[in-house]
A and B are shown apart, each in its own frame.
Chain A
Amino acid sequence: MAAAPERMPLHHRMLASVGEPVIHVADTVKGIMRTFALTLHYTLRGRKRWDAIFEQLHEIGNRSVIFIAFTLGFLGMILIYQAGYQAMKITGDLQLLGGLFLQLLLRVFAPTITAMMLATRVGSGMAAQIGSMVVTEQVDALRMCAAQPVDYLVVPRFLASIVMSVVLTIFAVLVSYLAGAMVANTAFGVNFYTFFDMSFVGWFDVNICLTKALVFGATIPVIACQAGLIVTGGSEGVGQATTTAVVNCSLAVVILDFVISGLGYVVLNLL
């Protein structure tokens, strides 16, 4: 008769239930840092494949324009409507609406929401594409042809994402601000001259916006490609990688948003 499996003591099971996710998170972070280091290495030292970079610029940038315009445009309209409605109820003064909205857009909404949208549209696509290349042995074939997968697959996406994240964030600011201006004008009668008040916006806001866009642009492809490169199994593994990519990219964007904002205010106070 086979021996019954030994049952783990309760405190061991409790420790295991805490330890397992901690180890999983540590492994994921380690993998992402390794891919990031390799990406930097090949970005600086590898051969630049301009055709692949331009292809990715088109894929990440041009094909996200409508998506970003709709998302940020509607977000701008909703925010202005809500903010205007509250301001009307409390003070009735809408003179600061445009200036403060632009500051909020630059500091938080434009880079963060654009990055979230890129994580959803571009990050999932990268993980799925590279993941399916792994399960169909195309990544092994690359390695057998002496091509490094990180150099060949990640670096063009990394460079294109950095460029396009900045460009799309600037575009998002414009679209959201204009959409907000139209709602402010039609719903609350705020004239455009009053709305386009730049007095609240300084170089700090522009710097924070561009820094966030740049960092998010560098983070999303690394996390998404890493999720694709470690796919195991078949289509189920690719599906999991896609989900993992979107979740990890979104988490990274939120955490980095907090860190960059915090550091920004520290720097601002020092100046």
Chain B
Amino acid sequence: MIEVHNVTKLHFGRPVLKDITLSIPEGSNLGLIGPGGAGKSLLLKIICGLVVPDEGTVTIDGQDVFELDEIEIAKLRFRIGMLFQNYALFDFMNVADNIAFPLRQEGKLGEDEIAAKVQEQLDSVDLPTIGHQFPNELSGGMKKRVSFARAVVPEPPIVFYDDPTAGLDPVTSSKIFLLLKAMRDEKGVTSVTISHDIEGIKDICDNFALLDRGELIFWGSRDEVESTDLSLVRQFWDGFSDDELG
């Protein structure tokens, strides 16, 4: 269970997130939508403790993320996978080492087991032969899939996807969404997905939140989204512009 309570973040005195409160029950999948610059990625980074808010708390399974010491936060992060918007692959490591990195950090498996897990992940993202290549040799879609493999290789119960299909062609986007769907159905992960591809996340998320200019405008289930009259939600959900709504 992830709970966000009254989170506010200021940037040079100006609020970029205002009093955000929401909760993500275990096993549920939240879709975080909204215009660019609304604070979605920032909220995700606050939830996993990478950015400290000016006000408010974040608890994951009852643990206050900002009260944990170094060892406790490390333990918590072993339970969280994150796919970054800009891939964030380590450019000084090849693909296999990138995917193996969280497993080596965890230190539970031997090198043979790690190699087997890495190959298993490469097979699952349909890139079985690129382990020796470096990130700068890959296309955007391949980087996303490698980044996905790195995020999920330790089989974390919580995964955050920050715009997993940004800048990708429709075929690669659908492959990524299939991977996300498999994570939900086969592993039962709790997830938060930021995406501008509404059609894509409709299939993988059961709850949706809409942020606009740092404020949580809407938060509810798919049925609630479909029945709401809030114009910004309708615009996003149905893909209309202001003019078309009249």
Contact = CB atoms under 8 A, between A and B. Distances in A.
A138 B105 contact: no
Contact of A145 (B70, B73, B101): B101
Contacts of A136: 86-88, 91
Given A140-B50, A141-B90, A148 B70 contact: yes
B82 interface: yes
A143 B76 CA distance: 11
B218 interface: no
The DSSP consensus for interface residues of chain B is: mixed
B200 interface: no
Interface residues of A, number: 13
Nearest to A137: B88
Nearest to B162: A137
Interface string B25-69: 000000000000000000001001010000000000000000000
Contacts of A138: 88-91
B77 interface: yes
Contacts of B86: 136-137
B88 A146 contact: no
Given A140-B88, A141-B82, 19 more contacts: A136-B87, A137-B85, A137-B86, A137-B88, A138-B89, A138-B90, A140-B45, A140-B50, A140-B84, A143-B50, A143-B77, A144-B77, A144-B80, A145-B101, A146-B75, A146-B102, A146-B105, A147-B101, A147-B105
B88 A141 contact: yes
A187 B45 CA distance: 66
B218 to A, nearest CB: 28
Contacts of A141: 82, 84, 88-90, 150
B105 A137 contact: no
B155 to A, nearest CB: 14
Interface in A141-155: 141-148
Interface in B90-123: 90-91, 101-102, 105-106
A22 B101 CA distance: 41
Contacts of B73: 146
A127 to B, nearest CB: 16
A190 B101 CA distance: 60
A133 B88 CA distance: 8
B236 interface: no
B182 interface: no
B106 to A, nearest CB: 7
Interface in A111-152: 133, 136-138, 140-148
A-B pairs, top 9 by smallest CB distance, nearest first, are: A146-B74, A137-B88, A141-B88, A145-B102, A146-B77, A137-B84, A144-B82, A145-B105, A146-B105
B78 interface: yes
A137 B77 CA distance: 16
Given A137-B85, A138-B90, A144 B101 contact: no
B80 to A, nearest CB: 7
B148 to A, nearest CB: 13
A146 B106 contact: yes
Contacts of B91: 133, 136, 138
Nearest to A143: B50
A145 B70 CA distance: 13
23 contacts: A133-B91, A136-B86, A136-B87, A136-B88, A137-B84, A138-B88, A138-B89, A138-B91, A140-B50, A141-B82, A141-B84, A141-B90, A142-B90, A143-B50, A143-B77, A144-B77, A144-B82, A145-B101, A145-B105, A146-B74, A146-B78, A147-B101, A148-B70
Contacts of A133: 91
A167 to B, nearest CB: 24
B180 to A, nearest CB: 18
Nearest to B77: A146
Contacts of A144: 48, 50, 77, 80-82
B83 to A, nearest CB: 10
Contacts of B77: 143-146
Contacts of A146: 73-75, 77-78, 102, 105-106
A117 to B, nearest CB: 24
Contacts of B87: 136
Interface in A137-182: 137-138, 140-148
A146 B50 CA distance: 11
A6 to B, nearest CB: 16
B170 to A, nearest CB: 25
